[in-house]
Amino acid sequence: MALTGGAITFTSLYLAAGALTPLLVLYKEQWEFPAASLTLAFAVYAIGFLAALLTLRSLSDHIGRRPVLIGALVIQLASNVMFLVAPDIGWVIAGRIVQGIATGAASSALTAALVEVAPRNRKRLGTILGSVSVTGGLAVGSLLAGLAIQVTTTANAIVFVVLTIITILGIAVIALSPETVGRTPGALRSLIPRVAVPPATRREFAAAAPVVAASWMLAGLSGGLAPSLVRSVFLVDSGLINGLAGFIAPATSAVIGLAFAKVDSRRAMTIGIYASVIGPLGIISGLFAGSLGIMFIGQAIAGVGFGASFTAALRLVFPLAEPHQRAGVVAGIYVVSYLAFGVPIVIAGQLTETLGQVPTVSWYAALTVLLALISLVAQIRITHSSRRSDL
């Protein structure tokens, strides 16, 4: 019961984050703000998430899982209410920062809690649920919000009333769940951000970082610009299709993350790199051909790139660090990820006002291809070096 409740609670955090993807397009139509404000409202989530993750990542190890999770869910509840009553895009931007803080604060504690409450012979299930909850929640949240926009005129109210109820139920579930960690000293010291890439991990980290950045940039493109492209470039006025534009990449990523669990890490990384090259080329081709279907295929392939390369990056880098260094390494990977997720899409939003959406997306996608190719060269060098050392 605790495992199921925890997984649903974890998913609800990302459902809320994903729901904003098509709703931002609706807000833009209602309030008539520029595209730059839309991408800013999407991307500031990364600021809140990263700030909370870096400072609160280890807090639950010292004061227990429940206090951290209940606090994070209360913050999430506040963000839901902010979106529910938002009168303008300024409230939405503030709500996204608060939402990011809530999710970042809860993520590491909930991931650990899912493993800890899983039965002894099913600990891997807790890890899998934690992984799928992230991308799966983003995907389903976008699709369901898009459906609500399609079939009702009160989509924002419906979405955030439902999410508020789910969050309240999540608080109750966590409050009634057993505590899995005792209190230990060092809570205040744990709040100091620690980002480190020790020497033993640097080669693999440097080889993986460009494609990790590329895949997270493409995730930002799918969530931050793709839904608005549906309306402005392809002239399709459909909330459901907007939601689908935000659904395809994270849904594919979730499936690939599961499917590649037993695939050799180096092979998974290579597949992810190739997908991160082909995917954005497909997106660009769809834009120039005026084909929404081709763009969606490109997004799906980009989702393959994300699911394969990010999972492989963690598996290649993480084991090379000593146990006391691993938290800093993971923090380093997430700094690269969330900076790539947030900063480029904000810049792209600014450029759309002067260059136009299609040229901006084309340059954006071309940059992700270049980053993926840099990682490909680095991976080839590592493979050749390993073969020489084996001779």
Q: Which of 59-68, 238-247, 291-300, 333-342 has the lowest mean pLDDT?
A: 59-68
- pLDDT of amino acid 193: 82
5 confidence band (pLDDT: 50, 70, 90): low
Share of the chain above pLDDT 70, in %: 92
pLDDT averaged over every residue in the chain: 89
Nearest one of 73, 70, 94 to 83, comparing CA atoms? 94
190 confidence band (pLDDT: 50, 70, 90): confident
Task: For 217-229, write each residue's pLDDT tens digit.
Answer: 999 999 999 999 9
Q: What is the DSSP letter of 189?
A: G
49 confidence band (pLDDT: 50, 70, 90): very high
For the CA atoms of 328, 330, 333, 334, the dihedral, rounded to the nearest 10 degrees, stands at -100
Q: Which of 83-92, 309-318, 369-378 has the lowest mean pLDDT?
A: 309-318
Which two three-digit tokens encode residue 248? 């395809």
- pLDDT of amino acid 12: 85
Nearest one of 242, 253, 351 to 299, comparing CA atoms? 253
State mean pLDDT over 189-201.
Answer: 85
- pLDDT of amino acid 261: 77
pLDDT at 322 over 70: yes
- pLDDT of amino acid 384: 87
2 confidence band (pLDDT: 50, 70, 90): low
State mean pLDDT over 196-221.
Answer: 93
Which two three-digit tokens encode residue 275? 């997908």
pLDDT at 308 over 70: yes
pLDDT at 117 over 70: no
pLDDT at 145 over 90: yes
120 confidence band (pLDDT: 50, 70, 90): low
pLDDT at 149 over 90: yes
State mean pLDDT over 252-276.
Answer: 91
Task: For 346-391, write each residue's pLDDT tens digit.
Answer: 999 999 989 999 999 999 999 999 999 999 999 999 988 877 766 5
DSSP structure string for 333-376: HHHHHHHHHHHHHHHHHHHHHHH-HHHHHHHHHHHHHHHHHHHH
Handedness of CA 130, 131, 133, 134 (dihedral sign): positive
